Amino acid sequence: MDRGGIFAGDDPFALAKAWLSEAEASEPNDPNAIALATVDADGMPNTRMVLLKEIEPAAFVFYTNYTSRKGREIEASGKAAFVMHWKSLHRQIRVRGMTEREDGPIADAYYASRSLKSRLGAWASAQSQPLSSRTALVAEVAKITATHGTNPARPPFWGGIRIIPTEIEFWADGAFRLHDRFRWTLSGSDGAWMTQRLNP
Ligand SMILES: Cc1cc2nc3c(=O)[nH]c(=O)nc-3n(C[C@H](O)[C@H](O)[C@H](O)COP(=O)(O)O)c2cc1C
């Protein structure tokens, strides 16, 4: 396999981390933004941006409201996919995988690290539900502030989703649309990663 240069290495998670840290130096904002795809019960896809908060040794983690549309779709299907694209680097990473909740101490620690306003906002927003007015949301934040004080616990309906990939593709722009693509696939039997170069 002629995989070298920016694609070198045996660990796709380490490679994703390396690309993300390069993007942190060159993107104007949110280098960790990912377009997250889910499907509803009819197989109709849905996408939206979220922020990737952690690249673990074998998983990717973001945070959200479990009762949101994405939360419910992930809960029902147990699957998700995402793409991260960096215009400044002319590169993308695509991930598909199985999901699980991260709603233990790691989620508590991440919630506690957020600003107080964000922590209260997580309590106040019934994410993805209809909202009568902005005023109603501001009133809800005021109510939550009065009842939850300055050290709110993580809401039980809010936490992390861990995506445990079965496929990861690294893509880099090449001259005349002859891009480089390498797909890493988890081989069923022994949990080892297989890599293949793909046509652009
Ligand atoms: C750059 C960016 C980052 C975002 N990050 C998050 C996030 O980390 N978690 C989240 O729940 N929503 C995030 N959002 C809002 C989502 O895109 C979306 O509006 C919301 O989660 C509701 O989606 P849903 O109704 O499909 O569940 C972000 C939006 C943008 C544009």
Cβ-count burial 117-135 (b if 16+ within 10 Å, e if not): eebbbbbbbebeeeeeeee
pLDDT at res. 174: 86
Catalytic residue among 177, 181, 183, 197: 177
Distance CA 78, CA 163 (A): 9
Does the Cβ of 82 fall within 6 Å of ligand 1?
no
Report the nearest-CA residue for atom 7 of ligand 1: 50
Kindly state the tokens that stand for 12: 């796709």
pLDDT at res. 149: 86
Kindly state the tokens that stand for 181: 């693509």
* Count of CA atoms in the C-beta half-sphere (13 A) of 50: 25
Say if CB 184 and CB 167 are below 8 A apart: yes
Distance CA 193, CA 166 (A): 9
Kindly state the tokens that stand for 46: 């849905």
Say if CB 37 and CB 46 are below 8 A apart: yes
* CA-closest candidate to residue 100, choices 75, 65, 67, 73: 75
Whether the pTM exceeds 0.85: the reply is yes
Does the Cβ of 70 fall within 6 Å of ligand 1?
yes
Say if CB 62 and CB 36 are below 8 A apart: yes
Closest ligand 1 atom, residue 46 Cα: 26
pLDDT at res. 53: 98
The 10s digit of each residue's pLDDT in 17-37 is 999 999 999 999 999 999 999
pLDDT at res. 1: 67
Does the Cβ of 30 fall within 6 Å of ligand 1?
yes
Say if CB 62 and CB 33 are below 8 A apart: no
CA of 30 to the centre of ligand 1 (A): 12
Is there a catalytic annotation at residue 91? no
Distance CA 173, CA 114 (A): 36
Q: For the chain, which residues score pLDDT lower than 50?
A: none
Distance CA 123, CA 148 (A): 9
What is the DSSP-derived secondary structure letter of residue 200? -
Measured CA distances, 163 to 8, 96, 122, 131 (Å): 23, 8, 21, 30
Distance CA 50, CA 196 (A): 28
Closest ligand 1 atom, residue 71 Cα: 27
H runs (alpha helix) in 35-169: 69-77, 105-113, 116-124, 134-148
CA of 127 to the centre of ligand 1 (A): 9
Report the nearest-CA residue for atom 22 of ligand 1: 128
Does the Cβ of 63 fall within 6 Å of ligand 1?
yes
